[in-house]
Amino acid sequence: MAEVLLFHHALGLTPGVVTFADELRRAGHTVHTPDLFEGRTFDTLQEGVAHAEKVGFGEILARGVRSADTRPAELVYAGFSLGVLPAQKLAQTRAGARGAVLCYSCVPVSEFGSGWPDGVPVQVHGMNADPIFVDEGDIDAARALVDEAADAELFLYAGDQHYFADSSLPSYDPEAAALLTQRVLEFLDGR
């Protein structure tokens, strides 16, 4: 079974993120959910991003990296949207990574180094009409990552919601979320 470090999105550690982590736990995986916002949650993306800007994106990223310090090196790093930043950085830069699951976001590999590390499989999940994922360049970064990495998959889901797998939000899409969860569980098997 895999050990996963799962980072929340800009709304904070919502009940939906915890529910997703619990689904992975029910399948036998160990899942850690560090709270990068220190207990704060937000109702809108704008409020959450404003909070992250106030704290500083560099500090949010550093909190994520520090959360790995007391964990074993052999982790799968996963993140939702804003949480992709520490997940992707750790997968690319921390020795021993077992894999990465990047949901709703992906940044260019060059952001955290010169290339995707050999032997680290990765999945990217996003909706094909999500204006954040598509219009802000995340889908392009995901496609470039898939082209570069030896073991990488990009999964596109029909729809325009950003937080589609968070069951505590109005943007939740049960069908797409179930498929995402199934794919993540298959990815985690054997890691």
What is the structure's pLDDT at 191? 81
177 burial (CB, 10 Å; 0-12 / 13-18 / 19+) is buried
pLDDT at 87 over 80: yes
Query: In this structure, what token pair is assigned to residue 21?
Result: 């982590």
pLDDT of residue 165: 98
Residue found by looking up tokens 């709304």 in the block: 11
CA-angle at 102, arms to 143 and 25, nearest 5°: 145
CA distances from 136 to 3, 46, 150 (A): 31, 15, 25
**CB-based contact 73:94 (threshold 8 Å):** yes
pLDDT digits (tens, 9 = 90+) for 89-137: 999 999 999 999 999 999 999 999 889 999 999 999 999 999 999 999 9
Q: Which of 169, 165, 164, 153 is nearest to 121 (CA)?
A: 153
172 pLDDT higher than 90: yes
Tokens coding 130: 């999500």
Q: For residue 160, what pLDDT band results from cuts at 50, 70 and 90?
A: very high
Q: Provide the β-strand partners of residue 4.
A: 31, 76
Provide the CA 8 distance to its chain's centre, in angstroms: 7
Domain ranges of the chain: 3-188
Residue 43 neighbours by CB distance under 10 Å: 10
CATH of domain 3-188: 3.40.50.1820
- Using pLDDT thresholds of 50, 70 and 90, give the confidence band for residue 39: very high
Whether the pLDDT of residue 190 is over 80: the answer is no
Residue corresponding to tokens 């930043």: 85
Question: Quick one: pLDDT at residue 114?
Answer: 83
pTM of the model: 0.97
**Residue 80, beta-bridge partner list:** 103
Give the orientation angle of helix 57-67 with respect to helix 84-93, to 10 degrees: 50
Strand partners, 37: none
